Amino acid sequence: MLKIFYLIILLSSIMFSQQIDFQSPENIKLFADFLFCDNDYLRAIDEYEKYLVAVDDDLVQFKITIAYSSMNDCENAINKLGLIKKTSPFYEQSKIELLKSLYLQNIDSVFYAVAETLINSKSLYANNAYRLKNTALLLSKTELPEKESFLIPFEVEEKKTISDFYNLKKNPPYKSEALAGVLSAIIPGSGKIYTKDYGDGITAFLLTGLFTYLAYTNFEHDHPTRAWIFAALGAGFYVGNIYGSVASAQIFNAKVNFEFNEGVKLFLEDKKYFTPNYDFCK
């Protein structure tokens, strides 16, 4: 009887002390999945790497790349995506993910090369790559293809937005630097009003007008020294305003570019860079 007791104690102590083995591969994976879904990606990656030492798992390998890319660590994401084997069920996904990371890393030459091969492949995500490439083209300095062919890969509901972007890119609402300068030369301040710096335009008009008037009256009342000082200041404001109007047009155009680029970037973010939805965390 006593022997049986001892046996049970011994057995159960072995069995149950292992009941929560924190470092068993299954438990590591369970914990890592929890961290992954809690957006605690760096810790999740550490745990997944530990798990991979013991078990070869395609899904986990792929999830590591997604974790890196969720933390905007494109460099590591690209490295890890390169390790996904052709036999992995996530091979196709890894290609479009790679394209996304290359885009975010701004490695243009590689990005377009990879995009082309992916578009011409029989991949499930060939069209996604096509859409990502064309949207990226909107942000580059290269000439855009014809509108009809440019819009081909996009879904119906995307076509309107993309078409708007296309038109903006072809005909940006720039202000002419030369016109701004000429306008200000004719009527001080009008160049700045043309570039929509209304306050600055009116101020320039008033300042130039004020000093011209002061110079004029002082000349009339025979105060030549004062008159020349005021005349010089007036001339300074006049020339400064012509210069400033040209600069203002440049800044206006920089703003147009900036807002266009931000718009396209937000569109891309909104579309998750045309990568598929995985639903790893339901």
| Residues within the interface to other proteins (CB under 8 A) | 1, 4-5, 8-9, 12-13, 16-17, 19-22, 27, 30-31, 34-35, 38-43, 46, 71, 73, 161, 164-165, 197-200, 202-204, 207, 236-237, 239-241, 243-244, 246-247, 250-251, 253-255, 257-260, 262-263, 266-267, 269-270
Q: Are 100 and 128 in contact (CB under 8 A)?
A: no
Give me the least distance between CB of 213 and other proteins, in Å please. Answer: 15
By C-beta, is 49 or 58 nearer to other proteins? 49
By C-beta, is 112 or 184 nearer to other proteins? 184
By C-beta, is 112 or 165 nearer to other proteins? 165
Start-end of H helices in 82-175: 91-105, 108-120, 126-139, 147-151, 156-170
Q: Are 101 and 272 in contact (CB under 8 A)?
A: no
CA dihedral 134, 135, 141, 146 (to 10 degrees): 50
CA dihedral 198, 201, 207, 210 (to 10 degrees): -90
Biggest alpha carbon–alpha carbon distance for the chain? 130
Residue with tokens 């046996």: 7
Give me the least distance between CB of 117 and other proteins, in Å please. Answer: 31
Give me the least distance between CB of 14 and other proteins, in Å please. Answer: 10
Overall residue count recorded for the chain in this entry:
282
Give me the least distance between CB of 37 and other proteins, in Å please. Answer: 11
Give me the least distance between CB of 257 and other proteins, in Å please. Answer: 7
By C-beta, is 27 or 127 nearer to other proteins? 27
By C-beta, is 119 or 136 nearer to other proteins? 136
Name the residue among 238, 116, 8, 205 with its Cα closest to residue 108: 116
